[in-house]
Structure 1
Amino acid sequence: MRKISNRFWYAFHGWCSLPIWVLFCFICLSGTIAVLSHELTWLTNPNARASNPHDLPAKSNAEVVDIFKKAHPSADVSTVLTYEDYLVNVVLFSDHDQPFAQAYVNQYSGDIQEINSGITFIGFMRSLHGWLLFPWQQGYSIGYYLVSSMGFVMLGSLISGLMIYKQFWKAFTAPKLRFNQGKKTLLNDLHRLAGVWSIWFILLMSLTGLWYLVQGILMHNDIEVEDHAPLTAVSSLPAQQQAFKVDLAQALKAANQQFHDFKPTYVMMPEHNRDNFHLYGSGKDIFFDQYSYQVSVNPWSGDVVHTMSPSQMNTVQSVMHIVDPLHYGTIGGIWTKIIWFFFGALLTGMSITGFLMWRHKLVQIRAEKTVAKPAAELKESF
C-alpha cells in the first residue's frame, strides 16, 4: 500500500509541473529578475540614477512637476512616480508631439535626465512576469490567469514533494550533496536540497499567487474592493472655466496633515473638473505596500474627501496591500530583495533539475524497453 502511495505521489509531483515546465520555469525566471528590476535599471541606465553629490534635500513632487512644466509648458502632466531614493522621479505626461511619455527628473538636482516614450525595463519585467504581455480585454488577461494559476502548480509540487521525501527535515541539519555517484544522484540531491530549503518561499509564492488569481477574478467581475473618492458636485463647480484653486503642493500638505508619516509614491493629477488629486504612498507599516496610504483632495476647496490607511482597512483590503511586498520581497529594502532573488533563482533551478531528472528517467525506461524487446523475441523463438 505504501508503494502504491509513493507511486501516486511521484506521478502527481510530475504532473504538477512537467506538462508546463517551460512556462513555469519562464515565470519563475522573469519574476526573479523583476524582483531586482529597480536595481538593474540603476545599474544599466545612468539617466535613471538620482545622483546627489552635494547631499541636497529631495524636492517634493510638486517642485518636480513645476520644474518639468517650466521646461515643457505645453505638456499635460498626469502622474508622478517616486521609487527608491537612488532612482529618479518619473513624470508621466502627454504633449502635442507625444501622446504618452515619461520624464526622468532628478529630485535632488532638478535635472531632466531623459524623456522616454517607450516601455521601461521595470514596466516590461513586471508586465512580462504578471501577465506574459498578453493583451487586456474586457477587464481580464489570459496571461494573468495563466501566471496566477501557477499557485496551484507550486502548492501541488510542494505537498507531493514533501510526501515523497521522507524525513525531509534532516536536510536542514545534514544536507546531502553527492558529486561522485553520477549525474542522476547529483540532480536528485540538488533538487531535494533546494526544495527543502525553499519550503517557506514556495509556500509564500503559492499563496500570494493564488491571491492574485482571486484578485483577478474580482476585477474581471467588476467587484470593487476599495471605495472611490466622491466626484465634485456639479453645483460646486465655478460658472466659468478656470484653473483649479488648489495646486499639488497644497494637496500634498493636506495629505501630510492627514498622515504624518505619509511618503508619496504615486500621485495622480485630476483628469477633469470633477476629479480630485489622488495621492498614494507608504507609511510606517513596512508590511504594507507603497499604495496603502491614500488621500484624495478636492482641487477646488482643498478638502480631504477620501482617505485610506492600514488601520482603516478590512481583511480583504489588508491582504491586497500586503501581498505585493511579500511576493516581490520589498518589505526590507535591498536586503530582502536579494534574499527573494536568491530563492527565486533556486526555484527556477528546481524546475530545470526536475525536468532533467524526468528526461534521464525517460531515457532509461526507453533503453530498458529496447533491451527487453529482443530478449522477449529470442525467448519466443525457442
Structure 2
Amino acid sequence: MAKSSTQKKKKKNKKGRSYFYRFSAWLHLWLGLISGIVVVIVSLTAAILVFEKEIKEVVESYQIIETPEEGKFLPPSVLSDLVKDEYGFPSVYSVLYRGPNKSAEVPYYADRTNYQVAYINPYTGEVLHNRYLNDDFWRFMLEGHYQFWLPRNIGKPVVAYSTLIFVITLLTGLVLWWPKRWTKSTKDASFKIKWNAKFKRLNYDLHNVFGFYTLLVALIFGLTGMVYGMKWFSDFAYWSASGGQTNERSRMVSDTLLTANSSKKDQDVLFQNLIDQGVDLKENSINIKYPRGTNGIWSISVNPSFVSRWQAQTIHYEQRSLKILKEEPKLSDANGGEQLMRVNYDLHVGSIGGIWTKIIAFFVCIICTSLPITGFIIWWKKNKKWKGLRFPLP
C-alpha cells in the first residue's frame, strides 16, 4: 500500500509540471545524447588549446630569445628572404614581430597540404626552427576542435550545428535547474554540491550545479564558436549588433599596371613608415601580411597587446604605389557589428581579459567536457532497465 501511494504521488508531481518544462526536459535529454560526443571532443580540445601559447614558450626553446642591448629588428624582407633560402619556401604568408624577447614567425601557407611556420631571430637573422603543421600536436588539437578530424566540408558543419544544439541544451538546462519553489532545501540543491553524497547524487550535483555556474561563459563560447562555423549566424550576429547593416566582404586588389615609387622593397618601406610614425616595436606586435599574387595587397597590423587581438589596428595598402586602400576603424569608432566581430576571437578563446580570463576559460571548458558525460550517466541510471531506445514525447 505504501509503495502504491508513493508511485501515485510521483506521477501526480510529474503531471504538475508545465508542458514547457516537460518539453524542455525532452529536448535537453535527446539533443544532449545526439551531440554529446562532439561536445566532449570540442570542449576537451578547447581546454587543451587555452594555454597553447604559454606552454609553447616553456617547452620550445626557440620561442624565447635574448634581447641584445640597443638591438634593432631586421627589416621584414631580410627575415623572409633568409627563411625562403633556408627552407626553400617559394613565398611567405607574413612576417610577425612578437616583441623584444620573442622570435619572429614567418609562415608558409601557399600549399594547403604542407603548412609550415619558421621561427627566426629578428635581431640576428638566425633561423631557429621550422614547424611542420601536418605533424604538429597543436594543429591536430585545432582540427579536432574545428572539424572533428573530418574533412572540412563535413566536419565544420558537424561541429557548428552540434554547438548550436549545445547552446539549446544550456538554455533548456536552465529551465530544468530553476527550482519550482525557492526554499532553503532547493537553494542548497541548486547552488551547492553535496561532496559526501553517494555517486548517483554527486554525479547529479556535478551536472546540475556546475552546469549553472558555467552557463553564461559556456553560452559565450558556444555563440562565438557559431560565428566561425555558420555564415548565416555570423551575418545575423553582425546585422543585429550593427542595427541592420550587412557585413561587406569585398576583396581589395592592387592595380597591376602601377610601378614602385621606391627602390626599396614594399614591406621595408611600410616597416620604416611605422618606425617614423613613432610605433614602438618593443611594445607592439607587428604583423605584415604579404600580397597573394600580383594584384594582392599588403596588410599591416599593429597590436599593443601580446595576449589578445581585439586592440589591433590594421591598414591595407596597394602594392607598388603603397596607397592606403582601407584603414580599419578604431574599436570605439566601429559600428556594433564590427566591434562584435573584432572581439569575437578573444571572447571565444578566453584571452579577452588576459591570463585570468584564460584560467576561467580553462575550467569552464573542463566542466563543459564533463556535462555530456554526467548527463549520460543520469539518463543511464534512470533507464538502465530499458530493453530498447525510444523517444517518448513529453
Q: TM-score, normalised by structure 2?
A: 0.74
Contact 1:149 1:209 in 2 (8 A): no
Per the alignment, residue 10 of structure 2 pairs with none
Provide the rounded CA distance (Å) in 2 between the counterparts of 1:191 and 1:293. 42
Provide the rounded CA distance (Å) in 2 between the counterparts of 1:142 and 1:197. 33
Return closer, same or farther for 1:166/1:142 CA change in 2, 3 Å cut-off.
Answer: same
Cα deviation digits, residues 325-352 of structure 1 (max 9, x gap): 0000111233322221111111111222
Return closer, same or farther for 1:359/1:101 CA change in 2, 3 Å cut-off.
Answer: same
Provide the rounded CA distance (Å) in 2 between the counterparts of 1:150 and 1:259. 47
Per the alignment, residue 144 of structure 1 pairs with 156
Per the alignment, residue 275 of structure 1 pairs with 296
Larger RCO: 1 or 2 (CA < 8 Å, sep 6+):
2
Per the alignment, residue 357 of structure 1 pairs with 378
Per the alignment, residue 140 of structure 2 pairs with 124
Are residue 303 (structure 1) and residue 336 (structure 2) matched?
Answer: no
- 1:246, distance to aligned residue in structure 2 (A): 3.5
- 1:125, distance to aligned residue in structure 2 (A): 2.6
Q: Structure 1 counterpart of 2:266, which letter?
A: D
Cα deviation digits, residues 29-49 of structure 1 (max 9, x gap): 1122122222233344333x2
Provide the rounded CA distance (Å) in 1 between the counterparts of 2:278 and 2:157. 36
Contact 1:191 1:354 in 2 (8 A): yes
Return closer, same or farther for 1:166/1:149 CA change in 2, 3 Å cut-off.
Answer: same
Are residue 20 (structure 1) and residue 20 (structure 2) matched?
Answer: no
- 1:317, distance to aligned residue in structure 2 (A): 3.0
Per the alignment, residue 248 of structure 2 pairs with 225
Per the alignment, residue 215 of structure 2 pairs with 199
Are residue 164 (structure 1) and residue 176 (structure 2) matched?
Answer: yes
**Which is further off, 50-59 or 312-321?**
50-59
Per the alignment, residue 380 of structure 1 pairs with none
List aligned pairs for 1:10-159, cutoff 5 A: 10-47=25-62, 49-52=63-66, 59=73, 62=76, 64-65=79-80, 68=83, 76-82=91-97, 88-93=103-108, 101-107=116-122, 110-119=125-134, 120-136=136-152, 141-159=153-171
**Which is further off, 326-335 or 34-43?**
34-43
Q: Structure 1 counterpart of 2:162, which letter?
A: M
List aligned pairs for 1:298-377, cutoff 5 A: 298-311=318-331, 313-363=334-384
**Which is further off, 176-185 or 79-88?**
79-88
Provide the rounded CA distance (Å) in 1 between the counterparts of 2:228 and 2:276. 33
Contact 1:251 1:277 in 2 (8 A): no
Contact 2:206 2:374 in 1 (8 A): yes
Provide the rounded CA distance (Å) in 2 between the counterparts of 1:224 and 1:243. 36
- 1:194, distance to aligned residue in structure 2 (A): 0.7
Contact 1:232 1:274 in 2 (8 A): yes
Cα deviation digits, residues 62-101 of structure 1 (max 9, x gap): 2643654675688533322455877532212499xx9764
Q: TM-score, normalised by structure 1?
A: 0.76
- 1:198, distance to aligned residue in structure 2 (A): 0.3
1:77 aligned counterpart, secondary structure? coil
Contact 1:246 1:302 in 2 (8 A): no
Per the alignment, residue 186 of structure 1 pairs with 202
Contact 2:99 2:285 in 1 (8 A): no
**Which is further off, 64-73 or 117-126?**
64-73
Provide the rounded CA distance (Å) in 1 between the counterparts of 2:115 and 2:27. 48
- 1:182, distance to aligned residue in structure 2 (A): 1.7
Per the alignment, residue 376 of structure 1 pairs with none
Provide the rounded CA distance (Å) in 2 between the counterparts of 1:211 and 1:93. 26
Return closer, same or farther for 1:7/1:275 CA change in 2, 3 Å cut-off.
Answer: closer
2:301 aligned counterpart, secondary structure? strand
Return closer, same or farther for 1:332/1:74 CA change in 2, 3 Å cut-off.
Answer: closer
Per the alignment, residue 2 of structure 1 pairs with 16
Per the alignment, residue 371 of structure 1 pairs with none
Q: Give the RMSD, CA atoms, in angstroms.
A: 3.9
- 1:50, distance to aligned residue in structure 2 (A): 1.3
